[in-house]
Amino acid sequence: MKHLLFSAFLLTSFFSFSQTTDIGLWSGVGVEKKINKSFSVNLSTQVRFTDNISIMRAFLGELGVSYKINKHWEVTGYYRYIGRRKKNDEETGYYYRPYHRFYADLAYDHKLWKLKFDYRLRYQNQFKDDTNTDGLEPDKSYLRNKFELSYPNKSRFTPFLSTDLFYQLGTGFDQMRNKAGIEIALNKRNKIDISGFTDYQLQGKQENRFLFGVNYKLKL
User: pLDDT, tens digit, for every residue of 174-204?
Assistant: 999 999 999 999 999 999 999 999 999 988 8
Which band of pLDDT confidence, cut at 50, 70 and 90, is reported for residue 1?
low
Which band of pLDDT confidence, cut at 50, 70 and 90, is reported for residue 113?
confident
* N-terminal to C-terminal alpha carbon distance within the chain: 32
The separation between CA 73 and the C-alpha centre of its own chain, rounded to angstroms, equals 20
pLDDT tens figures, 116-140: 999 999 999 999 887 655 667 778 8
- Domain for residue 213, yes or no? no
Q: How many Cα neighbours within 13 Å face the side chain of 172? A: 4
- Domain for residue 42, yes or no? yes
Over 90: is that where the pLDDT of 218 sits? yes
**What is the chain's Cα-based Rg?**
18
Work out the number of other CB atoms within 10 angstroms of the CB of residue 39: 12
Which band of pLDDT confidence, cut at 50, 70 and 90, is reported for residue 205?
confident
**H-helix or E-strand containing 14?**
helix 2-19
Instruction: Count the domains in the chain.
Output: 1
- Domain for residue 172, yes or no? yes
The boundaries of the domain holding residue 127 are: 2-187
The separation between CA 132 and the C-alpha centre of its own chain, rounded to angstroms, equals 31
Q: For residue 89, which phi and psi values (nearest 5 degrees)?
A: -60, -30
pTM: 0.87
Select from 172, 213, 168 the least CA-distant residue to 195.
213
Q: What pLDDT sits at residue 133?
A: 56
- Domain for residue 61, yes or no? yes
- Domain for residue 75, yes or no? yes
Percent of the chain with pLDDT over 90: 75
Which band of pLDDT confidence, cut at 50, 70 and 90, is reported for residue 17?
low
Residues sharing a CB contact under 8 Å with residue 103, sequence separation 6 or more, in sequence order: 77, 78, 80, 122, 123, 124, 125
Which band of pLDDT confidence, cut at 50, 70 and 90, is reported for residue 65?
very high
Q: What pLDDT sits at residue 20?
A: 56
Answer whether 78's CB lies under 8 Å from 60's CB.
Answer: no
Strand partners for 91:
none
- Domain for residue 99, yes or no? yes
pLDDT tens figures, 85-108: 998 877 778 999 999 999 999 999
Q: What pLDDT sits at residue 8?
A: 53
- Domain for residue 13, yes or no? yes
Between 101 and 7, residue with greater pLDDT: 101
- Domain for residue 70, yes or no? yes
Over 60: is that where the pLDDT of 110 sits? yes
Pairing status of strand 190-201 against strand 209-219: antiparallel
Q: For residue 72, which phi and psi values (nearest 5 degrees)?
A: -110, -20
Answer whether 160's CB lies under 8 Å from 182's CB.
Answer: yes
State mean pLDDT over 30-52. 96
State mean pLDDT over 63-81. 97
Give the CATH number for residue 41.
2.40.160.40
Strand partners for 15:
none
Over 90: is that where the pLDDT of 16 sits? no
